[in-house]
Structure formats: C-alpha cells, structure tokens
Amino acid sequence: MFGMDNSELALIGQLAVSGACLGAMGIFGGLLRHARRRCRHLSEQLGQACALNESLRRQALYDGLTGLPNRLLLEERISSALTRAEREQGAFALLFLDLDGFKTVNDRYGHAAGDLLLMQIASRLSGSLRHADTIARIGGDEFVVLTEIVSAGDIGIIRDKLHQALSQPFQIGADALCISASLGHARYPDDGSSIDALLARADQGMYHLKRQRQSAAIYATQ
C-alpha cells in the first residue's frame, strides 16, 4: 500500500492504536478529575448539611442561654429513665429547683445581669452533679435535675450538693450577689409513674417550700 512494506504498515497501525489509547486515556483522565471534583463538592455539601443538622438539633434540644438541656430533651431522658427503671426495677428522682428572688435581680440590675447570673448558676449546678445526671433549664429561673438513685436518702445528698453549689456569691460586674433556691423532689416509683406526674409532684414540693419561706419572711418583718 503506497509502496509501504508490511513492517511499516504494522508500525502505522501500532501508532494509530497508541494514539487512540492515549486519546481514550485523556478522556478517562478528564472524567476521573471531574468525578473527583464532584465527590469533593458532594462531600462539602454533606459536611455543611451535617453541621446544619447538628445546629438545628442543638436549637431544638438545648437552652440557648445556658447550653443545658431544655424541657424537650429532659422529657426524652425521663422517658428513657422510666423504661430502664421498669426493666431493671430501679429508681430515679427529679428535683425541681426555682431561684428565690430572681425577679429582683432583673429589676435592680437589668436582664443582662440576670442572664449572666443564670449562666453562672447553670455552670455551678452542672459541676456539682455526676456526669450521668441531667440538669435542664425548663424556663425562666427554673431548673430540673434527673438522677438515678439507690435509696430515698440519696435525694438528701443531691439536695445538699445543689444548695452548696449556690452557697457562694456570684460576681456580676462589680457586685457580688447571693442567691438561694427552693427545691422540691419526686421519686420514681413512689411519687408517680409518668413524666407529667413526677414533674407535677416535684413542682408542688418546690412551691410548698417557697410559700413556707415567704410566710416566714412576712412573719419576721411584722
């Protein structure tokens, strides 16, 4: 063909095949690079979606001011504690804590000072409990502790720890503020077998103690 011998034709054929292979490799390489870029992009999108999901989860389950669990997460954990206690014949307690005179702090020093005080109180209360315990802020100056117990006497120990955590003054700007709290408690299974019943019992105990203190204060000033 065109004066070429077989060896030359074979060489041309090999070059053509090589060229086709190189072209195919170039196309494949381009596709591979595109696929890698696409994977990186999808990975970044997945990471952003996970971060957004975690942010939304925290907003839904944690108090925005103190970072403590909110009422929704508290109720989830109480539900888990109920299931576990029923299965294992165990016991747990809820302690309802309400700060005494917190409104006066807001009125006298402003809401920013009140928020700072709540943050410090949350930190102290958290530090006084075991890692397995839950302390939640369920609104305003109200906190609830969920803790597993062995006997009813354990509740007194926990109450003492919570009072001790609040015993030292809180530094708010140039002022050192002293604050106390009224506590009520409920024990499963003695005081109820549902989330609502246990929370209501602990809440009632707290308000009963608060009314007693208020009556004593009024009597003392007469």
Q: Which residues pair with 145 in a beta bridge?
A: 95, 135
Q: Which of 63, 141, 154, 191 is catalytic?
A: 141
5 catalytic? Reply is no
DSSP 193: S
Which helix (H) or strand (E) element contains residue 65? none
Q: How far is CA 146 from CA 91, 166, 168, 200, 205, in A?
A: 11, 18, 23, 14, 15
> CA-to-CA distance for 99 and 120, rounded, in angstroms?
13
Q: How far is CA 178 from CA 99, 121, 222, in A?
A: 11, 11, 24
> Do the Cβ atoms of 189 and 84 come closer than 8 Å?
no
Q: 121: Cβ–Cβ under 8 A, 6 or more apart, which residues? A: 99, 143, 166, 170, 179
- List, by residue number, the catalytic residues: 141
